[in-house]
Amino acid sequence: MNRSFADNLVDMPLVDDLAGIEISSPDSPVEVIENKAGSQGSLRIYRYLTNKYEVINATAAAEGLALYAEHTQDARLNPGKHPNIDRLLKVESSGLVYFARLLPLGGS
């Protein structure tokens, strides 16, 4: 049985202690997934992937796309609608590696 995005989030670490996650690569500008309404699910998935893989590589992207569940298909059909999923799709198709840095609340 396939799990939904909401089902998968139950198993993801909380993000109450984060301001966000900084995502970067040598070939692209730094992006930040902020801890705010509408992006907390992505923040939880990216935190999980960062903790498990340390970088967002093809293996991490494949797992992340599976965790986004039904939203992954929507992102494939509507490029630009889900930028955090689009990033994983880009990694999956190009082999690009992103570095991720957790941004704790209060700086550091």
Q: Of 73, 17, 86, 89, whose CA–CA distance to 47 is shortest?
A: 17
Integer Cα distance of 8 and 49 in angstroms: 13
pLDDT score, position 108: 57
pLDDT score, position 63: 98
Q: What are the residue ranges in the chain where pLDDT is below 50?
A: none
Q: Domain ranges in the chain?
A: 5-104
Q: Of 73, 63, 23, 64, whose CA–CA distance to 41 is shortest?
A: 64
pLDDT score, position 1: 59
Q: Does the global pTM surpass 0.75?
A: yes
Integer Cα distance of 12 and 73 in angstroms: 21
